[in-house]
Amino acid sequence: MSRSSYHPLSIVLHWLMFLLFAAALLFIELRGTIPRETGQALRDQLRNWHISVGILVLLAAVIRLGVRWRVGVPAAIVSSPLQDKAAALVHLALYLVMFLLPVTGIVFSQAGGRDVALFGWTLPVLVGHDPSLRGAVKAVHELLGNAVYFLVGLHVVGALWHHLVVKDDTLRRMLPHHKS
């Protein structure tokens, strides 16, 4: 690939993924601030939005991986071997979370006996009601949710490091209108 920046569709999907993760995390964090006794209807609505946006994360991740396979990525900007390995590991971890977080959320909900819906459209049941599975998958889902904060933080720190300290194009090439 001779491009120096990401394909425009890759850029759109990158920032869409950020917005979807932010929305999913916002909904579930807000839900935790609302008392069960007085706000159960709002808590339920926030959970439903969290689930729907989580499913959109999964769909966007599938599309993003397909676009990445189809259009590729620009060559890495040369840096140290340690930075290259760290960046590759963080990107791999982010992709794993993009897939595993929504899947564990679906399994967690269904194992708890709940239907899972995407803005009202009910998904097929993957697992039946199973309280012990629910507990185990809930723990994994919450661990992955917390990992998102850490991984996105590392991703942002790396981008800012390249932009402010190294002063290369690492950050700019994931922005719209960057010249290839």
Average pLDDT, the chain: 91
Q: What is the pLDDT of residues 64-108, one digit of tens each?
A: 999 999 998 887 776 788 888 888 899 999 999 999 999 999 999
pLDDT at residue 1 greater than cutoff 50: no
Q: Where are the domains of the chain?
A: 8-174
CATH 1.10.20 given to domain 8-174 = no
SS3 46: helix
H-only helix segments in 34-130: 36-71, 81-111
pTM of structure: 0.88
**pLDDT of 10:** 93
Nearest residue to 92 (alpha-carbon basis) of 65, 70, 53: 65
CB 108 within 8 A of CB 145: no
